[in-house]
Amino acid sequence: MGIGELSFIALSFLGLGLFTFNCVRIRKNIHLGVDVDRSGSLGARLKTTLLVAFGQKKMFKRPIPALLHLCIYAAFLFTQIELIEIFADGITGSHRAFQADLGVLYTFSISLIEVLSVLAFVATLAFLARRNLLKIPRFTMSEMTGWPKLDGNLILYFEILLICFIFMMNGADEVLHIQDGKGTYGFAISSRIGPVLFGGMSVETLHLIEQIGWWGHICMVFVFLNYLPISKHFHIILAFPNVFYSNLQEKGKFTNMESVKKEVELMFDPSADPYAAPAPDASDAAPTRFGAKDITDLSWKNLLDAYTCTECGRCTSSCPANQTGKKLSPRKIMMDTRDRMEEVGRNKRKNGKDHDDGKSLLGDYISEEEVWACTSCNACVEECPVNIDPLSIIIDLRRYLVMEESKAPSELTTMFTNIENNGAPWQFSPMDRLNWATEEH
């Protein structure tokens, strides 16, 4: 085994090991949330995953960015075929290990990858222009400054480098293959641009360019892989499980806290003895907190949502509260949840699982003004291309404010009082509510 194979194996262990380490860290952060049952309805979940995650169904509500994204998405999927061969070549020291066995199918596969790579290159330039030249409004909001803006651009730069390395590798190899008297590979793009870019060069130079392309390609793959866990682009991996565990209930149906629900049901049960001691039941234990103040009060699915957020801003651009100038941005809600989760996870790893830094998601990251600006319309949930649910986080934060802090806008406080006293939101007693029907007109 030569130095090249050893170097490749060492690079692979380092890259994959670091990626695994970061994935384990993220998994632990997600499990900081409380348990929620998303099992069952396997058929419906698989169908939703195929349509929304694999089929990109919700992306096509906006056709132009959807088609651009499809080019990159398809290139990403099919490039994994070539990546398998690169691993085989790297470990064994062979060159195009699958070519002899696959024949015409091999030529077709690499040609398809090259065509998709060209389309991905064009789409990448278009996305860079949309973010930096056209300045699409949803990419210029306050939460998209600093790291989020750089993050969105970095992945596009990586994509361009990756594509350039692919064509350096294939183009130089194409010319070498011709010079060896073996004819052309027949690849759709490199068989044409290879002789134009690298024709006339010496064999040594061509070997060097081909190796730079080969090693550059695999190095960019590992850089990309280990960049994902610190980037919004981790949705490339998490989108599929996140969509699979989507909330399949009707939009707008709120969850009930079982402890509160049972008390209300007892109040409306005429046969219930209000003075009887309840039978002991572990499931009746009082919740540690009503609603959510910090990320440890949210469900693991809420936290998975936060890591899956693509920061595309479709939720915010469709939010009626945001459109009317309110402070609320559903995208910021998800970004804040992820940032706080990272902070809590980091503190617990460093200082122990019981460490409390005295901060919380509500107040230090998300303000009460943002929470109360939400109209609960579900536009953000409907628009999200990977079925993220910012509304469920907002509702839990509201629950905490109302049920534990007794904080609510004055308009709601009046309504709560009327419901408590009159059984209705209006300031009329039940006996007076129909007086208008007997009035003479």
How far, in Å, CA of 307 to CA of 299, rounded?
Answer: 13
Domain check: are 326 and 210 in the same one? no
Domain check: are 149 and 11 in the same one? yes
CA-to-CA separations, 88 to 73, 84, 85, 174, 210, in angstroms, rounded: 24, 6, 5, 20, 17
Domain check: are 237 and 327 in the same one? no
Say if 155 falls within a structural domain: yes
Say if 262 falls within a structural domain: no
What pLDDT, on the 0 to 100 scale, is given for residue 286? Answer: 55
How far, in Å, CA of 286 to CA of 406, rounded?
Answer: 18
Domain check: are 211 and 318 in the same one? no
Say if 306 falls within a structural domain: yes
Domain check: are 152 and 80 in the same one? yes
Say if 279 falls within a structural domain: no
What pLDDT, on the 0 to 100 scale, is given for residue 430? Answer: 65
**Which residues are CB-neighbours of 199 under 8 A, at least 6 positions away?**
175
Domain check: are 78 and 193 in the same one? yes
CATH number of the domain enclosing 388: 1.10.1060
Domain end (from 213, 244, 275): 244
Domain check: are 348 and 223 in the same one? no
Say if 189 falls within a structural domain: yes
Domain check: are 304 and 399 in the same one? yes
Domain check: are 321 and 401 in the same one? yes
Q: Which amino acid appears at position 281 of this protein?
A: D
Domain check: are 308 and 392 in the same one? yes
Say if 108 falls within a structural domain: yes
Question: Domain containing 293: what range?
Answer: 289-406
Structure tokens at 432: 């007076």
Domain check: are 89 and 215 in the same one? yes
Domain end (from 207, 229, 244): 244
Domain check: are 194 and 297 in the same one? no
How far, in Å, CA of 381 to CA of 314, rounded?
Answer: 10
SS3 299: strand
Structure tokens at 106: 């091999």
Query: Domain count of the chain?
Result: 2
- Low-confidence residues of the chain: pLDDT under 70: 272-287, 429-434, 436-437, 439-441
Q: Give pLDDT tens digits for 422-441.
A: 777 877 766 666 676 676 65
Three-state helix/strand/coil letters over 242-263: HHHCCCCCCCCCCCCCHHHHHH
How far, in Å, CA of 85 to CA of 99, rounded?
Answer: 9
Say if 165 falls within a structural domain: yes
Q: Give pLDDT tens digits for 315-339.
A: 999 999 999 999 999 999 999 999 9
Say if 338 falls within a structural domain: yes
pTM: 0.87
Domain end (from 244, 278, 299): 244
